A and B are shown apart, each in its own frame.
Chain A
Amino acid sequence: METAIRRPVRTTKPEARIFLQPVAAPSVLGYFALGSGLIIWGSWFAAGWGTEQDPSSFFPFLLLFAGVGQLGAALWAYRARAGVAAALHGSWAAFFMGVGLIYLLVTTHTIVAPARGDAWQSLGQWLIYMSVISLTTAVAALARSPVGFVAQAVLAAGSAFAAAGLLLPSASLQEVGGWLFVAAAVFGFYAGAALMLDSVYGIAVLPLLRRGKAEPVEYVRGDPGVKVGQ
């Protein structure tokens, strides 16, 4: 039996359009979150301040801001077409969520973490691969962001020193690694602040070596998303 209603069937290709959707630069949050995690954990790791008990106080900040906050930036970086930001912030967000969880478990006396200056094989292993990944993203960032390259190259160096310090072990190498994390944080803060001011003022307030003046497409009397900002 033949059915009474036939479904419409299209046999020609429909029209296709490429839609470019502008978003705020995710690396502003990404670098702020990464830098915050690096400056707090790095300076403590370098024995610059505090005691072995202090991670019980700062682990929620590492877990949530350097971790979850930075992961949010990484996921928006896909929409922003920022391949380096997605890889860099996604990797370090995961690292800080993991470190935050380690100190959470230390705080609840579930596990025991080695003291600063001592050997910590597993964290040293992780930092080897964080160094490789950061160096890879640094080389990729060099194509368009010299500041990003410097921040990520210093981050890779800090990871390598910290890894060596944890594996050998060597307190002095751990200190060098920790202070390099702080230096990477400073460059990261600069990159994040420069991106923010660049987008707000439309000109390079802090040099990023960007090509040309920004001219975003907007309808200034529209809602957020149609105009730039809120």
Chain B
Amino acid sequence: MAQVEHSRPAPDEADLAGDGAPPSAIYLTPIAPPVTLGLFGFFASTMVVSTWLLGWWGTPTGSPATMFEIAAFFGGVAQFAAGLWSFRARDYIGSALLTMWGTYWMAWGFLQAFAAAKFITIPPLSTPQPGFAVWFIPLALFTSWGAIAAIRENVPLFTVLATVGSGSAFVCGGFWAGSPTWIHVGAWLFVFGACFAWYTGAMVLLEYSWGRVILPFGVIPGLMKLPGAANRPGARIAAPVEYALGQPGTRHTP
């Protein structure tokens, strides 16, 4: 009997207060990387709309009517969903910024849908639009904060957030003042950011699928979390737990 009593842990001070915590464990659940879909949605939507803003294709008033639908779903819904899964991935940057930009593209889709239905009229770029410009104040601010956080992650992700954050600031100023030049500078920065978004999404997806580095991660050793080996194609930087003959979820990349 005494042996049984001694096999239990001695009650600590909290137990004596009647407020003891039950035994606990932390469950870690592996999932596929959500950032890839989110960045692909951002990449495609940003490229289509930014190149249109730069006048590379289409017409100023005719194109948005058949352009906003996919942007609302790909840059919007899909990127938003990836942002929500980033919470499960314990990714602070993805959970905040993919979700934020996902809502931006959905909101932009709403605006264009209202214009297509002739509920509102969207003026040309040379007309000040402060009501739209203010959208880009929080976008510029929080994306730039994300860039500072990404200094601990990798150079491509930092570049995405730094260029998109500064591009948002230019676009904000451009729409506020009715300056097509500032908007074009912002659109160029968006194009650069979108290309790096594709690279970052592909980099993560290819490493996850092949189990080794395919596209270099751009890690600055000592400053960033990943080891310097992440810059070397062919290097293995992860050792996922899996049961290879099991169902999806128990094995890595079914």
Contact = CB atoms under 8 A, between A and B. Distances in A.
User: Do A and B interact?
Assistant: yes
Interface of A: 5-10, 14-27, 67, 71, 74-75, 77-87, 90-91, 93-95, 97-99, 101-102, 105, 110-113, 120-123, 125-126, 128-130, 132-133, 136-137, 139-141, 143-144, 167, 199, 211-217, 228
Range for the number of chain B residues in contact with chain A: 35 or more
Interface in B163-213: 198, 201-202, 205-206, 208-211
A111 B114 CA distance: 11
Contact of A87 (B17, B20, B205, B251): B205
A20 B209 contact: no
Interface in B1-55: 12-15, 17, 19-21, 24-34, 36-37, 40-41, 43-44, 47-48, 51-52
Contacts of B116: 105, 110-111
Contact of B47 (A5, A9, A24, A129): A129
Given A102-B69, A140-B210, A141-B209, 11 more contacts: A75-B85, A83-B32, A91-B40, A94-B41, A111-B65, A126-B44, A133-B40, A136-B201, A140-B206, A216-B246, A216-B250
24 contacts: A7-B14, A7-B19, A8-B14, A15-B25, A19-B27, A20-B243, A21-B29, A25-B247, A25-B254, A77-B32, A81-B30, A81-B253, A83-B209, A90-B41, A91-B37, A91-B74, A93-B78, A94-B41, A97-B77, A102-B69, A105-B65, A120-B66, A129-B48, A133-B43
Contact of B244 (A27, A126, A199, A212): A212
A125 B48 contact: yes
B237 interface: no
Nearest to B39: A87
Which 7 A-B pairs rank lowest in CB-CB distance, beginning with the nearest? A98-B70, A8-B14, A94-B74, A80-B248, A129-B44, A22-B247, A140-B209
Given A74-B37, A129-B48, A217-B243, A122 B63 contact: yes
Contacts of A80: 32, 248-249, 254
Given A26-B248, A83-B36, A87-B201, A14 B19 contact: no
Given A78-B34, A87-B40, A136-B205, A216 B210 contact: no
